[in-house]
């Protein structure tokens, strides 16, 4: 192949073939469709509601994108969230802890669960799918044991600030935090050796190992980071609900993976961008919000959600096949 051909190939890739492009088109189309159908959709209030409702998912999708870039997956985030929520809310209520302490508890617990995932995957060699599915059950079970199945209510008001508070009375604090997390992740993604190594491991683990990357310890870090991110999402979610529930986040693994894949991150690993996962998460959010406004039942929403995941992975797989 001559250099010129290569040149052409590369340039062509940039625009419409870009993996994020289709996602953005879908996102905009959805917004147009819903605003045409319903006047209630494109209002400041509703937009802020969508942002608030999906802050936890957006944060979660950041960690998930890095995990999926390495070629792995984390299906334990739902259970992890439950464990973080219960530990944090019980301790906060018991000792009337300040916000920062509540958040830290979530981050530490989440990180610990993430470390266990990383240990099972790298040191025991269990495939990520199975290791994290097992960990999901362990974490949720622990959450139920700790709280005895009860709802942790009567939380102090400070606990609810991050999830229910607004800046200037309009912008949800949760959305601001989510935005900050996204920015941090984009910076990590674009400007650190850590990120280059992450892509390298996902693209060719053997070559990464031979290039002197400590692949196992790197993967452990990735899962710990996912766990910490999950902890933050758990706190924001619990704060929004105002209570601690062990049943929380039962769809979270599913939603986070869907958001990531919708954003064009390949489940085969090696490619993907965190900022696109934000669009993926918002697509999920917009569809739910829109369907709810249109009075579509939650059972139908469930079906829609499943179809979206299958469709987005289907597109990803077909695209991968073409590239070979």
Partner 1 sequence: MGGECFLRLENIAKSFAENNVLKNVNFSIVPGEVRALLGENGAGKSTMIKIIAGVHQPTGGKIYIDGKETVLSDPKEGIKQGIAVIYQELDLLPALTVVENIFLGIEVKNKWGMLDKNRMNEKVQKYFDGMNISMDITAKVGELPIASQQMVAIAKAVEHEARMLIMDEPSSSLTNKELEILYKQIRLLKEKNVAVIYISHRLEEVYEICDTVTILRDGVLIDTRKVSEITRHEMVSLMIGREISEDRINMRKEFDAPVILSAEDICLHKLLKNVSFQVKKGEIFGILGLVGSGAIELGKILYGVIPADSGLIKVSEKPLHMKMPADALESAISYVPDERRAQGIFPLLSVEQNSVITSIRNYTNRFGFLDHKGVSVAFMEYVDRFGIKIASADQQIRFLSGGNQQKALIARTLLSNTDIIILSCPTKGIDVGSKFDIYSILLDCAKQGKTIIAVSQEITELVRICDRIMMLKDGEVYHEYTGDEISETLIYHDLLAEGRKKT
Q: Which is nearer to partner 1, 166 or 194 (CB)?
A: 194
Q: Are 165 and 172 in contact (CB under 8 A)?
A: yes
Q: Which is nearer to partner 1, 101 or 205 (CB)?
A: 205
Q: How far apart are CA 88 and CA 106, in angstroms?
A: 6
Q: Which residue bears the tokens 């704060």?
A: 239
Cβ neighbours of 226 (radius 10 Å): 31
Q: Which of 146, 166, 16 is nearest to 85 (CA)?
A: 146
Q: How far apart are CA 198 and CA 203, in angstroms?
A: 9
User: Between vectors from CA 229 to CA 227 and to CA 231, what angle results, nearest 5°?
Assistant: 70
Rule CB under 8 A: which residues touch partner 1? 1, 3, 6-7, 9-10, 187, 191-194, 196-197, 199-200, 203-204, 206-214, 270-271
**What is the separation of C-alpha 13 from the centre of its chain, rounded to a whole number of angstroms?**
27
Q: How far apart are CA 199 and CA 219, in angstroms?
A: 11
Q: Which is nearer to partner 1, 190 or 292 (CB)?
A: 190
10 Å CB burial of residue 48 (0-12, 13-18, 19+) is: middle
Question: HSE-up of 65 (CA within 13 Å, CB side)?
Answer: 29
279 forms bridges with which residues in the sheet? none
Q: Are 60 and 228 in contact (CB under 8 A)?
A: no
Q: Which is nearer to partner 1, 211 or 292 (CB)?
A: 211
For residue 104, what are the CA distances in angstroms to 85, 111, 228, 264?
12, 10, 9, 32
Nearest distance from residue 204's CB to partner 1, in Å?
5
Nearest distance from residue 199's CB to partner 1, in Å?
6
Nearest distance from residue 312's CB to partner 1, in Å?
19
Q: Which is nearer to partner 1, 6 or 123 (CB)?
A: 6
Nearest distance from residue 172's CB to partner 1, in Å?
30
Nearest distance from residue 208's CB to partner 1, in Å?
7
131 forms bridges with which residues in the sheet? none
Q: Which residue bears the tokens 């942790």?
A: 152
């Amino acid at each position: 192949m001559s250099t010129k051909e290569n040149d052409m190939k590369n340039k062509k890739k940039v625009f419409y073939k870009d993996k994020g492009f289709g996602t953005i088109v879908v996102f905009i189309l959805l917004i147009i469709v819903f605003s045409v159908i319903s006047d209630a959709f494109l209002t400041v209030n509703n937009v802020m509601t969508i942002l608030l409702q999906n802050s936890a998912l957006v944060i979660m999708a950041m960690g998930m994108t890095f995990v999926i870039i390495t070629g792995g997956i984390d299906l334990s985030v739902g259970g992890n969230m439950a464990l973080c929520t219960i530990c944090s809310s019980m301790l906060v209520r018991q000792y009337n802890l300040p916000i920062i302490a509540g958040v830290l508890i979530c981050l530490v617990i989440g990180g610990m669960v993430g470390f266990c995932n990383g240990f099972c995957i790298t040191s025991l060699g269990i495939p990520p799918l199975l290791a994290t599915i097992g960990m999901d059950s362990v974490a949720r079970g622990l959450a139920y044991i700790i709280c005895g199945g009860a709802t942790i209510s009567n939380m102090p008001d400070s606990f609810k600030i991050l999830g229910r508070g607004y800046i200037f009375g309009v912008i949800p604090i949760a959305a601001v935090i989510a935005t900050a997390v996204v920015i941090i992740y984009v910076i990590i993604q674009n400007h650190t050796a850590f990120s280059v190594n992450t892509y390298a491991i996902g693209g060719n683990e053997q070559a990464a190992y031979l290039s002197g990357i400590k692949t196992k310890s790197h993967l452990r870090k990735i899962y710990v980071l996912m766990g910490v991110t999950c902890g933050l999402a758990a706190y924001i979610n619990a704060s929004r609900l105002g209570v601690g529930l062990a049943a929380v986040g039962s769809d979270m693994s599913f939603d986070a993976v869907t958001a990531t894949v919708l954003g064009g991150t390949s489940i085969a690993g090696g490619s993907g961008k965190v900022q696109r996962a934000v669009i993926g998460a918002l697509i999920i959010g917009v569809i739910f919000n829109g369907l709810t406004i249109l009075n579509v039942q939650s059972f139908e929403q469930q079906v829609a959600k499943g179809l979206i995941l299958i469709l987005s992975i289907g597109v990803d797989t077909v695209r991968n096949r073409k590239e070979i």
